[in-house]
Structure 1
């Protein structure tokens, strides 16, 4: 019987973690599979242990708690990999601790993987749940780029993904811990998987919902996020052999163009397009910074509770 281990990495967000786990308790388990849940607490004080143990007796399947003392999201993800190996699982599933899943979520992920031969990575969709006060012109910026089911991807994130265990067992892939508090280690992990011949496909029907706190639903936060993401892209391009000069020329040219267009949109009073161009400019500025080796500690602070 195939074994599926659902892993959640968490850090000082007990309420969000509780909501996440409670949603998992209501999922439809794929036919003829065994499901387990593993929580990796990246807080040295073990702040999530009480949350997990409080649900153990009533949880519909086995739930495991482990504390990873080494601070950083890639360290927690790698601990999740090791614990999944110890359980002898065939599939590793990642979701974030600020997400809640729909009842058919896992069934959809697993069924699509089996439909494709059982050896591909499957990435589901994430629906942001924004505060009521969020302005309408800001809402589109929180929706991830939509891909129909079956789309072949060059990489994906760990916010909703099912991965066959051979990626970490046979191929030996791990999350890069060289910048433990920076983002992008999941993107890099799956990029390396694709280079090794692994296929990643989208399953748009496998849905999770992300709780977006008020402090994130702002242009200021999005600007920082785009900049941080850009630094990861710039750093990755250097790692992949692209010259620093080439990155600077390309990103610098795009930065100037986007700032110019943002100014035009400001003058004509189109706030949505103004913000869209501004956010693209922030990303290109991040790419420039990443080309010079800058990495931003995205996971140094905690959003949500």
Structure 2
């Protein structure tokens, strides 16, 4: 079983800690593991630190430079280089425990799924606002809807690749600066027949940077998440139903926010939920997304 871990990076020194945690993995018998680091900066700014770290690692590391400040382009460069049976994805500000890979593989073998998604747990410092910590807005928790996992994230996932019918599929470049390219990608693969499962024991950990600890950043993220989810509606009738439902939910959420003005936690919760549903509406209408990444 050959696995390539695709690790995209953009101006984050923390990628060294990610690589260090990968090198500590307990690799199951019969598994061959390689790490592909894709540097998405305009200049190859991560090359020196990645190659210095790779010199002391037990695992083979391939570095490539895919400039553009577009995360979808970087993910596609990793897929172009991948020749393994499976491709795993992690973010460059995450770390994993020694049993992460074994838990992912175990869950895949239990379910026979074409992709398994683990959770990404956020770690906050003392500067994080209480209302953010209380609702844990920065963790990515994969959930099933009606017992079905419809899509997932590249922050913690393992995808069948070598013999899969979707090896010609790539991430949408138009979403590479706004985000949501992974949500759309996995929705698309599911439409091609891919089946998904959740690996609760395979957790990644992410320390939240201070610039993301604001209401404005979270509002933009929720809005974009709604835009990404809109691709789940296929065809005019489904799109119309989704738009009407999301519009009604957005109105309800903003009404609840008005009733919750005295409480920052409750008020912001409803405003952020409203932003999510407004994002769905604009996504159905194919309105442009705001750039969040690559700047």
TM-score, normalised by the number of residues in structure 2 = 0.90
Structure 1 match to 2:159: 163
1:240/1:100 CA distance change after superposition, 3 Å: farther
- Alpha carbons 2:6, 2:87 under 8 Å: kept: yes
Q: Which moved more, 1:48-57 or 1:70-79?
A: 70-79
- Alpha carbons 2:161, 2:167 under 8 Å: kept: no
Structure 2 match to 1:253: 248
**Partner Cα separation in structure 1 for residue 236 and residue 77 of structure 2:** 29
- Equivalent position to 1:198, from 170, 194, 214: 194
- How far residue 131 of structure 1 moved from its aligned partner, in angstroms, is 1.8
TM-score, normalised by the number of residues in structure 1 = 0.87
- Alpha carbons 1:167, 1:173 under 8 Å: kept: no
- Equivalent position to 1:280, from 262, 265, 273: 273
- Equivalent position to 1:108, from 103, 109, 116: 103
- Equivalent position to 1:131, from 116, 125, 130: 125
- How far residue 107 of structure 1 moved from its aligned partner, in angstroms, is 1.1
Q: 1:81-117: per-residue Cα shift (whole Å, max 9, x none)?
A: 11112xxx11100001111111111111012212334
**Partner Cα separation in structure 2 for residue 254 and residue 207 of structure 1:** 31
**Partner Cα separation in structure 2 for residue 245 and residue 114 of structure 1:** 39
**Partner Cα separation in structure 2 for residue 50 and residue 116 of structure 1:** 40
- Unaligned segments of structure 1, at least 5 residues: none
SS in 2 for 1:227: helix
RMSD: 2.2
Q: How does 1:85-104 map to 2 (within 5 A)?
A: 85=83, 89-104=84-99
**Partner Cα separation in structure 2 for residue 280 and residue 263 of structure 1:** 13
**Partner Cα separation in structure 1 for residue 176 and residue 198 of structure 2:** 27
- How far residue 239 of structure 1 moved from its aligned partner, in angstroms, is 6.0
- How far residue 55 of structure 1 moved from its aligned partner, in angstroms, is 1.4
Structure 2 match to 1:295: 289
Structure 2 match to 1:209: 205
* Aligned positions, number: 290
1:120 is the counterpart of 2:107: no
**Partner Cα separation in structure 2 for residue 99 and residue 217 of structure 1:** 17
Structure 2 match to 1:4: 3
**Partner Cα separation in structure 2 for residue 105 and residue 24 of structure 1:** 9
1:241/1:59 CA distance change after superposition, 3 Å: farther
- Unaligned segments of structure 2, at least 5 residues: none
**Partner Cα separation in structure 2 for residue 198 and residue 290 of structure 1:** 23
- How far residue 238 of structure 1 moved from its aligned partner, in angstroms, is 6.5
1:178 is the counterpart of 2:168: no
